[in-house]
Amino acid sequence: MSLDEAILRADDVSCVFGAGGMFSGSKQVRAVDGVSLHVGPQETLGIVGESGSGKSTMARILLGLLKPTSGTVSFEGVDYAKMNRAQRWNFHQAVQVVFQDPGTSLNPRKSVVKILSEVLLLHKKVPGSKVLDRVIEVLDSVGLPSEIAFRMPHELSGGQKQRVAIGRAIAMEPKVIIADEALSALDVSIQAQVLSLMKELQRDLNVSYAFISHDLGVVREIADRVVVMHNGKVEETGNTQEVLDHPQAEYTKSLLAARFIANPHEARRVRLARELSETL
Amino acid sequence: MLRFTISRLAIAIPLLFAIILILFLMLKAAPGDPVSVIIGNFPAPDEYRQQIVERYNLDDPLWVQFWAYLGNLISGDFGYSFANSADVIDVIFSRLPATLLLVVLGIVFGSALGIVVGLVSGRTTKRGLDNSLNIFVLIAFAIPSFWLAQLLVMFFALQMGWFPTSGLNSAGLSASTWETAANMAWHLVLPVTALALVDFAAVARIIRSSTAEVATQDYIVTAQLKRVRPWRITSRHIFRNASLPVVTVIGYRFGQALAGVLLVEKVFGYPGMGQLLEQSIIKRDNQTILGIVVLVAVMVVVINLITDLLYGFLDPRIRRA
Amino acid sequence: MNMPAVASERGRKVPRPSLELLKRAFKNPLTIIGAALLVVLVLTAIFADVLAPYKPTEIAGFPLLPPFSDGFLLGTDNLGRDTLSRVMLGSRMSLAVGVFGAGMGILIGIVIGSIAGYFGGWLDTLLMRVAELFQIIPALIIALVAAALFGGSMQLVILVIGFTFWPDTARIVRAQILTLKERHFIEAAKVAGFKSRRIILSDLLPNALPPVIVQAALLVGWAILVEAGLSFLGVGDVNIPTWGQMLSSAQVSLSQSPWLSIIPGLAVVLSVLGFNFVADGFNSALNPRRLAVEVDYRKLNAERVRKLKSAGEGVTAEVQTVESQYAHETDERSGIPQLIVDDLVFNFKVGGREVRAVNGVSFHVNRGECVGIVGESGSGKSTIGRVLAQLLPPVEVSRFEGRASLDGEDLLGLSGLKADRVRRDGISMVFQDPMSHLNPTMKVGAQIEEAFGGTISGAEARERIDELLERVDLPRAMNVADRYPHQLSGGQRQRAMIALALAMKPKLLIADEPTTALDASVQASVVETLLKLHHEEGLSILLISHDFGLIANMAERVYVMRQGKFVESADVIELFDNPKHDYTKSLLAAVPGFKANQGTEA
């Protein structure tokens, strides 16, 4: 895929924290250091890294929540920093987000219908009279029954909350959804359900994902391409299958080697091999 | 730690500067002729008035005036008090030790009792005890220190005659150092009690909530895993961590206590700065009033600087940063 | 259909958090007493003119009449003015200064706190420095200076209180907003394109406000005290009666007329107390304080034994029969199992709701074996470990039954010192989050030393600590013992935690999610260390985890837990190759990459 087709791209983006005033007394941290990446249409880009790798900072930069210290983020070829009002407004519809912790991604004082309708009304997605119909439609498409609409967040389970958060994102009819560790806080069985929902939505709505995760297993399931981040830098990038099966960068190799394989045969084989090599 | 110290100093100095600036601006905004505002309502000779105009550059722009004012303060010149016919700085310093004695004793006794009650209240498993201690602390918060002082005088001094009603020393006492000290302590019991009450309440409240919070921390579970005895968990794990906020509270309390002491001094006719301030207000001796306030501000800022540094020293997370 | 129609269509009542709070606050008798005091205060202030028998400045009778004199319920002052009337009128000044002064301070505080918290950066630094300035300089002194320079009117006092009372509120609002800002719904609102003003007003402030209510009540009380102090020092108009002024004039006649001090003093105390009680009531409704309930194991155990006996079973006898039952199938490697748990039930109540955490589980761990308990969150797996180690959170236990023995010694039946000895010598534990489980203000070495139980100290202890740290692959050269937890990396902290657990020389180590809080690359090396201890030193491990990858790498036998019960148990290879229970199958199917791995293996 050529770079021109990219919907959302970052060019040589860096972000330095702690560059504050004379009283801050803290050291500078280069959270993101010269990262370039792009998300194409209907594509899922996996961004993989451990905590402190800068992947979540990258998510906030891509969302326009954080201004990079240097480098540019552009959407459909327009530099975010140079966007006019209308373009920014468009950006805020087209780029949406699903966060890690379903417990804090919904305002505890607003009912589901309020949460979904306020974004619909803000961007005038539907006329006021059709809002409730649309809310129920959105709930349906994320696999939630319509009566959920009148619940408060604390009455929902973790999986349901995450579905509402996904619903809030797709209600805007976005082109890209940034999923920042969107599955990490969920139980394994719920993870699998939400993962398949996200795949389904991608098929139906032609949306692209930037899927940020520390979990190589999840990324293998959903991502077409993958970017491996470490200490704020991109270590390796490429087709998911290729990168995970034939990693080139040392860091990717160590990340893959460190992973627990949910397979006791494999685990024993690896351990025996190591013990053998130690005795030899 | 050095970095931390420097950063705290870098905050304290502008803070003092800002306080003096505010006082200066208040002085300038006061109604009336500027010379009278400075020296108060005293019939001063014209030469002296002219001298004041020159010293404080009253004919110059505001910032020059401020600069001159600041320069005088830094060189230790707080002006001349007509009401007391003496330099303001000397008048204040003659009263300062007695007031500081009262404030420090009040904070020490109040905090000590507050720590004990807070710990008991935070650690108890009996809801009744916790509730009663809590109500006790809330009541302590609601009692004005000067009213408590009046009650103490009425009951323990006038009614029972156990303690003197006023002053710091008995008149005409010429005895050994020990006897003077004992006599002074006897005079101090009631004012210190009145003053300590609110410090006690503030410290007890903070210790209660921080103790209860620390007790739910995971590292307490680890201590239980190690089968550390309960009293040792309280003393070594809970108290050490729960007492950190007290250091900050005492810093804040110091300023409040310097205000509270003015009221208590009035009740006991105590020869401290409170009396001086009250008389200065009555006589509109503005030089002395400002002198006292500037000195209070300096002490408050310095004490807060010390407690800040102490906090940093006690918390290894800051000390080793 | 429009939005109002939506509202009317609500089939079910949505409990409003603010209403909930109000209800909970008023369940507290303190709140009710406080509110009653405030009602009396407000009514008195409003109707003072009508209620007062005399004009407050009117010389109505003889001076210094005692209370209950004819026509003067509370007596008269040194000029012969009616005390009751003066106290009633005095409430106006107190309330006005309290409410308007503190109210102004709170408004300023909310605005400054919101700005500082939301925008952050240099603006935040500057505003908080200014707040610090106002916080350490007492309002009373500023008011005195202002009164001396400008004359002491009520408006001035209100103004001074307003301008000096805001820092507390600003700090609280700022702290609230800083924590709320971390919540994703705020970022989601920004991503959706909502404006800052709308985010602050609609998403941030409503969630930040409850603690401000508490602060507001406290501040009004405090402002009343400051006003009383100021008028006690003579600030203000002599023709408007205030409580402080009354206390000031009582000063001269303390010996003959104590009531002149007692009555206005009580008025001040009761008013301030009203505000303090209401504040405290709301505060405890907001942050319900759980008392440090100590789980009384002795009592629980007596109950447990009584039940066993009434069922015709003995505690230890039964353990022996369980043991003999195992004796038939004696494993050559291990003999009788080290840990035997038989029909363990542990239910408790949280907020009036019963949690059936453990509902009849039986299992065993052989000597030198690593057994895994796998389940999703809420399955009750962690409670098993906590019950065996008697490290329960302060909960109200509603059901506690069953038996457990370690090396033939009853594990649940003991309490006090003997129990501590058995458990210190028997069971130790490693937790999920090593950072929170280590005391932040104590050096690692000192924390490990405590685990020796005072048996050794000094250089000998230091030697043992270094040995322990070496066993968990923290070489002496790193000098971990002399460091504080925050100076270590996540992996080092978990190793230190394992060393601490080993210091107790456990027969059995319970590892509760030992790698979940760690980065993937560190996880593997921590597992290496645990496995080394397991294989080389024969340490028995009970591994509790949700992570099938970890289970596959460490456990030899596995129990699958769901809703307080085991649904399946098997040898680890058998479980992965041939899961029998549907729940196990669904869990395994949900493991990302599980199928892929099976594929590469085939």
8 Å CB contact between C169 and C105: yes
pLDDT tens digits, one per residue of C403-414: 888 887 777 765
Distance between CA atoms of residues C133 and C100, nearest Å: 22
CB pairs under 8 A between A and C: 182
Instruction: Output the CA–CA distances (angstroms, integers) from residue C479 to C451, C460, C492, in the order listed.
Output: 19, 16, 12
Kindly report the nearest CA distance between residue B275 and chain A, in angstroms.
40
Alpha-helical segments (H) within C355-405: 381-388
Interface membership of C10 toward A (CB under 8 Å): yes
Contacts of B9 in chain A (CB under 8 A): none
3-class SS at C430? Answer: strand
pLDDT in tens, A155-195: 888 888 999 999 999 998 899 999 998 887 788 778 888 88
Interface probe for C, chosen from B141, B152, B299, B315 (most Cβ of C below 10 Å), is B141
Q: In terms of DSSP H, where are the helices of A142-249?
A: 158-171, 188-205, 216-222, 240-245
What is the pLDDT confidence band of residue C5, given thresholds at 50, 70 and 90? very low
For C524, the closest chain A residue by CA position comes to A258
CB contacts of A105 in chain C (<8 Å) are 183-185, 188
Task: Categorize the per-residue pLDDT at A224 as very low, low, confident or very high, splitting at 50, 70 and 90.
Answer: very high
Query: What's residue C314's pLDDT?
Result: 54
* Nearest beta carbon to residue C590 from set A65, A101, A191: A191
Quote the pLDDT of residue A25: 46
What is the model's pLDDT at position B139?
A: 93
Is C381's Cβ below 8 Å from some Cβ in B? no
d(CA B124, CA A85): 60
C596 in contact with B at a CB cutoff of 8 Å?
Answer: no
**Distance separating alpha carbons of residues B50 and C432, to the nearest angstrom:** 77
Cα of A110 vs its chain's centroid, Å: 24
Q: What is the pLDDT of residue A45?
A: 94
The rounded percent of chain B whose pLDDT value lies above 70 is: 96
Least confident of B81-95, C161-175, C222-236, C333-347: C333-347
Question: What is the rounded CA–CA span in Å between residue A55 and residue A49?
Answer: 6
Task: Report yes or no: C255 at the B interface, CB cutoff 8 Å.
Answer: yes
> Mean pLDDT score of chain C, rounded to an integer?
81
How would you class B179 by CB atoms within 10 Å of its CB: exposed for 0-12, middle for 13-18, buried for 19 or more?
Answer: exposed
Element (H, E) at C381: helix C381-388
Largest CA distance in chain A: 76
> Is C337 within 8 Å of C407 (Cβ atoms)?
no
Å from B8 to nearest chain A CA?
8
Give C-chain residues touching A253 at CB under 8 angstroms: none
Chain C residues whose beta carbon lies within 8 Å of the beta carbon of residue A215: 592
Interchain CB distance below 8 Å, B252 and C441: no
What percentage of residues in chain B have a pLDDT greater than 90?
15
Return the structure tokens found at B119.
Answer: 């710990």
* pLDDT at residue C595 tops 60: no
Q: Which candidate from C207, C524, C576 shows the least CB-CB separation from A108?
A: C207
Residues in chain A, overall count: 280
C8 interface with A at CB cutoff 8 Å = no
Contacting subunits of C (3+ beta carbon pairs below 8 A): A, B
Residue carrying structure tokens 């009046």: B150
Residue C322, CA distances (Å) to B97, C371, C547, C567 in order? 78, 19, 31, 21
Chain C partners within 8 Å of A54 (Cβ): none
Contact of C498 with C543, CB cutoff 8 Å: no
**Closest Cβ–Cβ partner in A20, A128, A147 for C3:** A128
Over residues A236-272, the pLDDT tens digits come to 999 999 998 898 988 888 888 777 777 778 777 777 7
Q: C143 to chain B, minimum CA–CA distance in Å?
A: 11
In this predicted structure, the answer to whether residue A113 has a pLDDT above a threshold of 80 is yes
Phi, psi of A225 (to 5 degrees): -120, 160
With beta carbons under 8 A apart, name residues in chain A contacting C588.
Answer: 262
User: How do residues B190-247 score in pLDDT, each as one tens digit?
Assistant: 999 999 998 999 999 889 888 888 888 889 888 888 888 888 888 888 888 888 888 8
Q: How far apart are CA C29 and CA C35, in angstroms?
A: 10
Q: Which residues of C touch B136 (CB under 8 A)?
A: none
Which of B18, B154, B218 faces C431 most closely, judged by CB atoms? B218
Cβ-based burial of A1 (10 A; exposed 0-12, middle 13-18, buried ≥19): exposed
The pLDDT value given to residue C323:
53
Helix (H) or strand (E) holding C48: helix C29-51
What is the overall mean pLDDT for chain B? 83
Chain B neighbours (≥3 Cβ pairs under 8 A) are: A, C
Q: How high is the pLDDT of residue B136?
A: 92
Interface-testing mutation among A22, A23, A24, with chain B (most B C-beta atoms within 10 A): A23
Distance from CA of C544 to the nearest CA of A (A): 15
Residue range B261-272: mean pLDDT, rounded:
87
Q: What is the pLDDT of residue B319?
A: 65
List, as ranges, residues 40-99 from B with C-beta within 8 Å of C. Answer: none
Q: Decide if B4 and A22 are in contact by the 8 Å CB cutoff.
A: no
Residue B41 structure tokens: 């309502």
pTM: 0.81
Mean pLDDT of chain A: 85
Name which of B312, B310, B307, B293 is nearest B16 in CA terms.
B293
Q: Is B203 exposed, middle or buried (0-12, 13-18, 19+ CB in 10 A)?
A: buried
* B298 and C CB contact within 8 Å: no
Cβ–Cβ contact B124 with C under 8 A: yes
B226 in Cβ contact with B184 (< 8 Å): no
Distance (Å, whole) CA C65 – CA C70: 9
Chain B contact present for C441, CB below 8 A: yes
Helix (H) or strand (E) holding C319: helix C315-328
The answer to whether the CB of A217 falls within 8 A of the CB of A197 is: no
Sorting pLDDT into bands at 50, 70 and 90, what band is C297?
Answer: low
Query: Measured between CB atoms, does A25 come within 8 Å of chain B?
Result: yes
Give the Cα separation of C231 and C224 in Å (integer). Answer: 11
- The per-residue pLDDT for C295 is 60
Whether B152 has a pLDDT exceeding 80, the answer reads yes
Nearest to C149 among B30, B126, B228 (CB): B30
A residues 197-256 lying closer than 8 A (beta carbon) to C: 214-218, 220-221, 254-255
pLDDT of residue A35: 92
Structural contact between residues C207 and C180, judged by C-beta atoms closer than 8 angstroms = yes
Backbone angles phi, psi at C57, to 5 degrees: -95, -5
Token readout for C356 is 């059936």
**Cβ within 8 Å of C, A 89-128:** 89, 92-93, 95-97, 99-101, 104-109, 111, 113, 117, 119, 122-123, 128
Each residue's pLDDT tens digit, A15-34 = 887 644 444 445 677 888 89
Of the candidates C151, C271, C167, C287, the residue with the CA atom closest to the CA atom of residue C220: C271
DSSP A1: -
Helix (H) or strand (E) holding C403: strand C396-406
Contact C12, A150 (CB under 8 A): yes
The verdict on a CB contact (< 8 Å) between A23 and B7 is: yes
Do C544 and C512 form a contact (C-beta atoms < 8 A)? yes
Mean pLDDT for C135-145 is 81
Residue B302 has pLDDT above 90, yes or no: no
Contact C562, C375 (CB under 8 A): yes
Task: Report the alpha-carbon distance of residue A30 to residue A69 in Å, rounded.
Answer: 10
Cα(first)–Cα(last) distance of chain B, in Å? 7
Phi, psi of C346 (to 5 degrees): -145, 105
One-character DSSP codes across C15-45 = PPHHHHHHHHHTTSHHHHHHHHHHHHHHHHH
**Residue B151 to residue C391, Cβ atoms within 8 A:** no
Average pLDDT over residues C388-394: 77
The residues in B 243-262 lying below 8 A from C, measured between CB atoms, are 244, 251-252, 254-256, 258-260, 262
- Bridge partners for A30 per DSSP: A16
Beta bridge mates, A14: A70
Q: Which residue has the higher pLDDT, B201 or C342?
A: B201
**For residue B12, how far is the Cα from the chain centroid?**
17
Backbone angles phi, psi at C401, to 5 degrees: -140, 165
> Mean pLDDT lowest for which of C76-85, C223-232, C499-508?
C76-85
Mean pLDDT of the A92-102 span: 87
- Residue showing tokens 């000029």: C79
In chain A, which among 57-86 make CB contacts under 8 A with chain B? none
For the cut 90, the answer to whether the pLDDT of residue C244 exceeds it is no
CA distance A16 to A33: 8
Residue B174, pLDDT score? 63
CA C142 to chain CA centroid, nearest Å: 37
Contacts of B104 (CB under 8 A, 6+ apart): none
- C-beta atoms of A23 and B11 within 8 A: yes
- Tokens 């229970």 locate to C581
The per-residue pLDDT for A229 is 92
What confidence score (pLDDT) does residue C322 get?
Answer: 53
Q: Does C19 touch chain A (CB under 8 A)?
A: no
DSSP code per residue over B66-97: HHHHHHHHHTT---EETTTTEEHHHHHHHHHH
* Helix (DSSP H) and strand (DSSP E) numbers for chain C: 27, 10
Alpha carbon separation from B282 to B41, B212, B254, B277, C149 (Å, rounded): 11, 48, 26, 9, 11
Select the residue from C222, C439, C486, C516 to test the B interface by mutation, using most B Cβ atoms within 10 A.
C439
- A21 contact B CB<8A: no
